[in-house]
Amino acid sequence: MEIVKASAPGKVILFGEHAVVYGVPAIAIPVHDARVTVVAQDAPLGSGIVLHNVTLRETWAFDPAVVNANPVSQIIGLVLHAANVQPPDLSITIDSSIPVASGLGSGAAVSAAVGDAVAQSCGVTLDREQLNALVYEIEKQHHGTPSGIDNTVIVYQQPIFFRREHPIEPISVLRPITFLVVDTGCSATTKQVVADVRRLRETQPRFTQTLLTEIEALVNLAHTALSEGDHHLLGNLMTQNHRLLQSLTVSSYELDHLVNVALDAGAYGAKLSGGGRGGNMIVLSSEDRLDDLSTALLEAGAVRVLRANLSP
């Protein structure tokens, strides 16, 4: 029996969320500690594709006549169409440790891993660019007007400097760096927050453009600071980015509270990450302060603290 495995990480945006929708560059990194793992194995003849979501404890059958049923069926439909093959007989198990609706890209990671596994099972090689394009199609159907940064960092599984309509630039770091990824426990709909920023841009174009221009300057400085290993500066730039996101109206009481707790506890910097109004914030500090900071953040109301590491 043939068994195929595929996996995709979660993600966080370090700099430039929201602004990236309007062509400003942004920086995102994978979170390898939170992953989706997919196992696909041959099933008895005529059984079609049966999916088991271990995390949600759901089992359902892929119906080629109703590919719009859900994002998983949609990505399978797109992969089969791209590969120009009929649905094979497969049993697919999806297991995810990425928290849902918290801005860590769980939906895009499921699409990426399922798409990869189905393509491999059909004996088709989809390169990263092709898989990314398919996952982006799903993101567009479910998230309104996404920039494409989430699916790109998840499919390529490496830190990226991303700008719409530009080639993807992988980022390398000079020395190891660890970010705390801190969950407020409040879920937020990125689609709604992105729509609100769009409205702000329409009603207050000059004000919004000033913020986007300032964010762009921070992203470019952060790109250099990350490559040169200047973690103090990077932290400072994160906090500045958070202040601009507050002005863009995408922060929340809980996010601001945890940013302040992190700064009071000696972090180099902290900011919300992703869509905002809930979900996750990120913290940068010296390596020896990470444990104390995690404790302080959990005591202050955070529901989960993950780590995202980058190595040279």
Residues labelled catalytic:
150
* 11 or 231: CB nearest ligand MEV: 11
Kindly state whether residue 150 participates in binding ligand MEV, applying the rule CB under 6 A. yes
Q: Which of 9, 25, 99, 274 binds ligand MEV (CB under 6 A)?
A: 274
Kindly state whether residue 190 participates in binding ligand MEV, applying the rule CB under 6 A. yes
Q: Can you say how many angstroms the Cα of residue 131 is from the centroid of all Cα atoms in its chain? A: 16
Distance of alpha carbon 19 from alpha carbon 25, whole angstroms: 8
Piece in contact with ligand MEV (CB under 6 A), picked from 64-72, 147-155, 259-267, 282-290: 147-155
The per-residue DSSP string of 120-162 comes to: HHTT----HHHHHHHHHHHHHHHHSS--SHHHHHHHHTS-EEE
Kindly state whether residue 116 participates in binding ligand MEV, applying the rule CB under 6 A. no
Kindly state whether residue 71 participates in binding ligand MEV, applying the rule CB under 6 A. no
Query: In one letter, which amino acid is 34?
Result: A
Kindly state whether residue 280 participates in binding ligand MEV, applying the rule CB under 6 A. no
* 147 or 252: CB nearest ligand MEV: 147
Provide CB contacts within 8 A for 1, sequence distance 6+.
41, 42
Piece in contact with ligand MEV (CB under 6 A), picked from 38-46, 144-152, 175-183, 281-289: 144-152
* 35 or 277: CB nearest ligand MEV: 277
Angle between helices 71-83 and 106-121 (to 10 degrees): 40
Q: Least distance to ligand MEV from the beta carbon of 130, Å?
A: 20
Beta bridge partners of 308: 179
